[in-house]
A and B are shown apart, each in its own frame.
Chain A
Amino acid sequence: MKATAWARRIFLLLPMAFVTLFLVLPLAFMLVVSFWKRSVINMRPAFVLDNYADFLTGTRLPVLGRSFLISIEATAIGLLIAYPIAYFLARKARPSWTRAVLLLFTVPFLVNYIIRTFAWAYLLGRTGPINTLLMALGLPGGPVDWLLFSQFAVLIGMVSSYMPFMIFPLWMSIAGIDERLIEASWMLGAPPSRTFLGVTLPLSLPGIFAAVIFSFVGCFGESAVPVILGGVGYQLIGNEITSTLDVLNYPLAAAMSSVVTVAMLALLCLWYLAFDLRSFLGKILSWRMAP
């Protein structure tokens, strides 16, 4: 191989080296610590499964289940809202409008997430504007309690935080679909629904993949929304890890983090198995014929 080809290869390895250095190595250390033994204030090297047993048998495990469930729900709702919007913007709207709308979706995120989430608490409260409006409209039975400090409030907080992140990749992959494929399907007499299911949807898989990851992982790691909108001790796994760190229980925190990371990696591997990577990165993967 020529020297320039080698240089190029090394250049391409840079991002991987970056992640390996600053994340993979620290994570390896975290994995080691998760097997350590905790003493009163410190920890000492050992190989025990106590921390995993503690996590997987105690009251903390349901929190993990709840984190998965709420993330799936918020992602599903987000996808149902984001996909039609992205589809419309990509196929039906004028480009100048599309860009403006996409920008409008990003602007609210310049406001700090705590202040945004906190604003929801105000809006949804028993004496907040929404309840005041409902009562003015003559809703019987006093203010609606379940608007705030409930599963509903957490879902509102999460969907409004992560749904807009989904629109952009969806829009990009739908906009990138070759118009001729859709026209061909149409000319062959397929009804719009068949064209959508047979052509558009599969070809927008890369965008769906990115969108689902953004939302699912974002919700899963969310620690402000459950605390501000969740009510009586609504915890997600991030809050639980912080709580164990409060008493310097590093081995348990490391064990919990390791379980989460491994579970996420397992999900990604399942995705790898279920879908050929080529089906959504198709074109760019098949292309290796450069000089």
Chain B
Amino acid sequence: MQLNTELTRRDALKVALATGTAATLPLWAYPAAAAGNINFADIGVGDPGGDWSRYTQSSSYGVNLVSIGNAPSAILNVLVAGGGTGTYDVINIVGGMQKPLVDNNLIEELDTSKMPNWAKDKNISEFLAPGAPGFQFIGYEGKIYGCPTVLQGDSFAYLPEKTGELDSYAALFDPKFKGYVALEDNYTTAGQKTALYLKASGQADIKNPDDMTADEFKKVIDFLIDQKKAGQFRVIWSSFQQAVDLIVNKEVYVIDCWEPMVFVAKSKGVNAVYADPKEGYLLWAMAAYIVKNPKRSPEQEAAAYQLLDFMLGGWYGAKITTMRGYMTNTDAPDYAKAHPNEFSADDAAKVTSITENVRRKFAKGGTWQNRWPTVVNIYESEWSRFKSA
């Protein structure tokens, strides 16, 4: 059998590698995989340190995780050109990609009744259900396609010793910090946050920062270009690691970024604060989609659903929150508290505080990240104008 020969060959090489360095691999490095493997394409956030043993116990399937990029181009290249539809079972990325994925016939509509944990999760029922603004992260035209795996509300970070207390996105454009500000290279985060600020401060007439018209977005870009020409920004970053280093090395004092970057900076002993802006947050969720593949066996399909359900469960949620710093599901804090042999008291406290804090952000609101706005082409070409200005 193809799969078996593949496994033995790789195992032999792994053993050679491991013995060569006198190190040993833990047992779960070899997926028990009695029944087979679920190919799971993920952007890194969904990896519980390689430990899928609990899922394997209940489903008898292993998980083969493939690290991919989160850019829409990376995802679609891999699925459309790279033959990913025949390879991957589940793909776990930042949500809101339903339109291009469904219209290109790449993902399946989900039957939520196959996931017992779905109905238990309060995050889904309160923030992401049909009718709520967060539905755009998992649904499309009234149908559900994505299983939410991570939720978060973004703002910006700052170094209080250099800036004092900050509570508005205005800080990103404050001439006081000229040359010490960084933005993310992303029109759906930095672009939307700027729009939120311009609208709240009455500087631009923007009806809906979640889905701007071409003219509205052009106003945002014109504003950003003026700022850029005045030397406001030090850098436009494009990776997690880059942003962490900008904070840790104090290269910039105010940075449009993600909250886990601040957690990492704090663990390095840097006093950075993730702001609580009066304008609200940029809210978003990650979603796991089942890749459409008519050739997939019913057993494999069932195992894929089991994986989604597992990801809505307490252990996985708590594990991802402790490792990555994002909120997952509402079962996670209780599970971590109830299983002191699996999660230390510190970790359990961390899961609870992150969950409470992100739920507070969702309750407060702001703007909902829209990965596929109506005039997405204009967003892209205008953002390119900003970058080359």
**A59 near B385 (CB under 8 angstroms)?**
yes
Nearest chain A residue, comparing its CB with the CB of B250? A127
A240 at the interface (CB under 8 A from B): yes
Q: Which residues of B contact A63 (CB under 8 A)?
A: 388
Report Cα–Cα, A227/B388, bound state, in Å: 12
Q: In the bound complex, what is the Cα–Cα distance between A118 and B249 (angstroms)?
A: 13
Residue among A60, A125, A126, A228 making CB contact with B384, cutoff 8 Å: A60
A243 adjacent to chain B (CB < 8 Å): yes
Contact check: which of B77, B250, B380, B388 meets A247 at CB < 8 Å? B380
A231 to B72, CA, bound (A): 23
B236 beta carbon closer than 8 Å to chain A: yes
A-B pair number, CB within 8 angstroms: 87
Interface residues of A in 206-253 (CB under 8 A from B): 227-228, 231-235, 240, 242-249
**Which of A122, A244, A245 contacts B77, CB < 8 Å?**
A245
* Chain A residues within an 8 Å CB radius of B43: none
Which residues of the partner chain B approach A36 to less than 8 Å between Cβ atoms?
none
Contact of B236 with A247 in the complex, beta carbons under 8 Å: no
Q: Please report whether the interface of chain B is mostly helix, strand, loop or mixed according to DSSP.
A: helix
Q: Which residues of B contact A227 (CB under 8 A)?
A: 185, 238
Q: How distant is B200 from chain A, measured CB to nearest CB, in Å?
A: 25
Kindly provide the distance from the CB of B194 to the nearest chain A CB, expressed in whole angstroms: 14
The reply on A42 being an interface residue by CB < 8 A is yes
Given contacts A122-B245, A145-B179, A247-B377, contact A62 B72 (CB under 8 A): no
Known contacts A59-B385, A118-B241, A246-B380: A126-B251 contact under CB 8 Å: yes
A231 and B236 within 8 A (CB): yes
B211-252 Cβ-contact flags toward A at 8 Å (1 or 0): 000000000000000001000011110110110010001110
Residue A189 is within 8 A (CB to CB) of chain B in the complex: no
Q: Does B376 sit at the interface, judged by CB under 8 A?
A: yes
The answer on a CB contact under 8 Å between B388 and A242 is: no
Contact residue among B239, B242, B245, B380 (Cβ-Cβ distance under 8 Å from A243): B380
Tell which of A127, A128, A232 has the most Cβ of chain B within 10 Å.
A232
Which residue of the partner chain, among B236, B238, B380, contacts A249 with CB atoms under 8 Å?
A: B380
The reply to whether A232 and B380 form a contact with Cβ atoms under 8 Å apart is: no
User: Is B234 a contact of A149 with CB atoms below 8 Å?
Assistant: yes
With both beta carbons as reference points, the residue of chain A lying nearest to B238 in the complex is identified as A227
Contact, CB under 8 Å: B235 / A248: no
Q: How far is the CA of A158 from the CA of B376 in the complex (A)?
A: 33
> Can you list 11 pairs linking A and B with CB atoms under 8 Å apart?
A60-B384, A118-B242, A122-B245, A127-B249, A231-B234, A231-B236, A234-B387, A240-B384, A242-B73, A245-B77, A246-B71
Query: Which B residues are within 8 Å of any A CB, using their own CB?
Result: 71-73, 76-77, 99-100, 103-104, 179, 185, 228, 233-236, 238-239, 241-242, 245, 249-251, 376-377, 379-381, 383-389
Which 6 residue pairs spanning A and B have beta carbons closest together? A233-B387, A245-B73, A247-B380, A59-B385, A246-B73, A246-B72
> Given A59-B381, A118-B241, A248-B100, 20 more contacts at CB 8 Å?
A41-B103, A62-B388, A118-B245, A121-B245, A125-B245, A126-B249, A127-B249, A148-B251, A227-B185, A228-B239, A228-B242, A231-B235, A232-B233, A232-B236, A233-B386, A234-B387, A242-B71, A244-B380, A245-B77, A247-B379
